[in-house]
Amino acid sequence: MKSQNIDYTEGSTALEGFAAYEEGGRRPGVLVVPEWQGVNDVSRKRAQMLCELGYNALVADIYGKGVRPTTMEACAAESGKYRENRPLLRARARAALDEIRKLPGTDSAQVAAIGYCFGGMTVLELARDGADVKGIVSFHGALNTPNTGDAKNIRGKVLALHGADDPLVPPAEVAAFENEMRSARVDWQLVAYGGAVHSFTNFSLPENQPGPIAYNKKADQRSWRAMQDFFKEIFA
């Protein structure tokens, strides 16, 4: 496995992602869009875990090189810029998608994207933008969009992995997402994990702590297996 930072650009903005890959052979590529902290140790670890499963992985940098918020307030402010500007969010995701196809040993025709929380919202927007990907996996991501009609552009399959008790993505938002996917005739799945709240895959958080965000080991393991089954299907 090779692990390294990757410099690339979107327009005039310098970006710095992180790649974990093997050069030999032709391996499917998986774009990873992290939570609202941006590229960090958790997302780097996920990329390495994907590489161990047989995929080349790239962690996308949505915010820009050196922009790494560390407080809740700073994360909310930075992610809010892109939540309110979906075209820019899509452009940053597409730049990362272009970059993963350049990784040595990556089969450019076999690419998927996964995202966590803010990243889950991002990969769904990437799909709605008509990106050429085999599939999209959202882990406890926001499911809403101001552009519901764009679901008709989705080209790959969609898997949404959701905390059934997530107060930040309430039932009304889930129902709207289901209707959006259904109306656009997308090949989609939604799995809800009982007892799980927001950020249930983030192993840097205390397990099952009170509040809207907490790590849930069981849901984390179940969702990771669900992703692997999904990949076996889309990359067959």
pLDDT tens-digit map of 148-158 = 999 999 999 99
| Domains defined along the chain, listed by start | 2-234 (3.40.50.1820)
pLDDT tens-digit map of 162-213 = 999 999 999 999 999 999 999 999 999 999 999 999 999 999 999 989 999 9
58, 19 Cβ separation under 8 angstroms: yes
Percent of the chain with pLDDT over 90: 98
- Look at residue 175 in the predicted model and tell me its pLDDT: 98
CA distance 100 to 68: 21
Give the count of beta carbons closer than 10 Å to the beta carbon of residue 143: 21
Percent of the chain with pLDDT over 70: 100
Report angle CA 105, 109, 113 to the nearest 5 degrees: 90
The helix/strand/coil state of 192 is strand
Q: What is the pTM of this model?
A: 0.97
How far out from the chain centre does Cα 71 lie? 21
Q: Would the pLDDT of 25 be above 90?
A: no
Token digits of residue 16 = 């710095």
